[in-house]
Amino acid sequence: MHQALGVNKPSNFIVFSFGHRNFKSTIIKHLSKDRSVLKFGIMTRNPEAWSSTQVREALTRRGIPYECFTFPKLVARIAYRPYFKVNGTSILDDLDALIIRPIGRGSLEELVFRMDMLYKLERQGFYMVNPPTAIEHCVDKYDILALLEDVGVPVPRTLATESVNEALKAFNELGGDIVVKPIFGSRGQGATRVNDLDIADTIFKAITFHHGVIYMQEFVPHGHSDIRAFVIGDRVVSAMRRVADGWKTNYSRGAKPAPTEISKEFEDLAIKASKAVGCKVAGVDILEGPEGPRIVDVNSQPGWKGLQVVAKVNIAEEIINFMLSEIKK
């Protein structure tokens, strides 16, 4: 686990999905509580953030009480209880589910500690959105694509190395037109398209000087748009085309959402990709290249502000409904 983490990683480290588990023991725990109404926790650095607000409003409409808090406020105990307490609330005793929204950056020690707490919660049979294994997969771009290739999902040709010389050889192998990305990153930050060998050499040396890993992909021609498919469980609940002025198509960088209907092939790929990394709620990014679709990322804490503009369903409602269906199984 620890080697998958790093210092001051972007906010996509904590994500929005949940994975494989037997919930029978969880339901027994729910029934043993002296109350009849479910209560949710929302782990968020900012309860007023758009997606967090949507979740809070969806819970309120369903009559489900909730409590918002941040990781820094959480107290963890070992060998005496309550194991996890925040603002007077025992997570294991007082809550039935935990939704984890983006929580910001942290030091290596802070991030590892937070993951350790999630693993402890998971071992106690607590229902979370997201399990720690899915979090670790989705924070690591190399790990994501490696898992996708293992299950036959098409991805761009990609090379990762700590050697500048090997990276320069790969520059030509990948067609002399590449995208260099940080392994840990989101929203297109730090991604650079390079089609000049001298510039590539400078970038590679700068990365290794700071003890980074050179992570590079062939550039897949895709016009100025891509597809974001929003997966919940076993279905794509909505999708949009993100239209930009350049090759970066992130909504947070100014791309405009446009309604779209994706093919059964794209739906199947998005669901397969989401399952491969252990997600139950995920944003899957698909490039329409000249050789067919390529999955370039699985975001396990996707925001949906842009998607909601063109979606025919309320995304937050879909997420809460799905969670309730899982809890009641």
Percentage above 70 pLDDT, the chain: 86
Q: Tell me how crowded residue 189 is: count the other CB atoms within 10 A of its CB.
A: 14
Delimiting residues of CATH 3.30.1490.20 domain(s) in the chain: 158-218
Instruction: Give backbone dihedrals phi and psi of 171, rounded to 5 degrees, phi first.
Output: -55, -45
112-171 pLDDT tens trace: 899 899 999 999 999 988 788 888 898 899 999 999 999 999 999 999 999 999 999 999
Is residue 181's pLDDT more than 50? yes
Q: Which of 101, 26, 17 is nearest to 56 (CA)?
A: 101
The distance between the two most distant Cα atoms of the chain, rounded to a whole number of Å, is 68
Q: Which of 153, 322, 317 is nearest to 232 (CA)?
A: 322
CATH architecture of the domain covering 223-322: 2-Layer Sandwich (3.30)
The whole-angstrom separation of Cα 56 and Cα 67 is 9
Delimiting residues of CATH 3.30.470.20 domain(s) in the chain: 223-322
Delimiting residues of CATH 3.40.50.20 domain(s) in the chain: 2-138
- Strand extents, DSSP E, the chain: 40-43, 66-69, 75-76, 84-86, 89-90, 97-100, 128-129, 158-161, 178-181, 192-194, 214-218, 225-232, 235-243, 256-259, 281-289, 292-299
What SS3 state is found at 287? strand
The whole-angstrom separation of Cα 12 and Cα 185 is 7
120-135 pLDDT tens trace: 999 999 998 878 888 8
The whole-angstrom separation of Cα 216 and Cα 180 is 4
248-293 pLDDT tens trace: 767 766 789 999 999 999 999 999 999 999 998 999 999 999 999 9
Q: Which of 81, 54, 128 is nearest to 313 (CA)?
A: 54
For residue 146, give Cα distances in angstroms to 150, 161, 260.
6, 14, 28
Instruction: Reply yes or no on domain 158-218 having CATH 3.30.1490.20.
Output: yes
Pairing status of strand 281-289 against strand 292-299: antiparallel
Q: Which CATH class is domain 2-138?
A: alpha beta
